[in-house]
Amino acid sequence: MAKHLLQFFILFSIVVFQSQACFIGRITFHVRNALPKNSPSLKLHCASGSRELGYHNLSVGQGFSYDFCLTLTSLFFCHLWWMEKDIAFEVFNSDWPQQWCETFEGFICY
């Protein structure tokens, strides 16, 4: 019985570790409100096909960051609203050539 219990805990530990590990890599994206002082807040909504990151109101100087494990189909987009203006764009797409993002400090995409 003790042998089976030990095997269970070892297997459980491996499964938990694998669920937290990133096998291809980890990506972090940042969105920062760099509008002029005293501007109205910037409304932000980011998501992927499987993750809803919610709506956020960013005051001048504030930011939003999110990190995720890279997969072969990773795609994240954000939609920004400021006063009457809005724009939606991809913040990360795994189809992008990685050399566009490669720097001496790691992978940084703009």
Q: Please state the domain extents for the chain.
A: 26-109
pLDDT for the residue 27: 82
Neighbours of 78 (CB within 10 A): 20
pLDDT for the residue 20: 60
pLDDT for the residue 71: 83
| Rounded-to-integer distance, Cα 41 and Cα 61, Å | 10
pLDDT for the residue 18: 42
Q: What is the pTM of this model?
A: 0.67
What averages of pLDDT result for each successive group of 10 residues across the chain (110 residues)? Answer: 48 44 81 94 94 95 91 89 94 71 60
CB 92 within 8 A of CB 27: yes
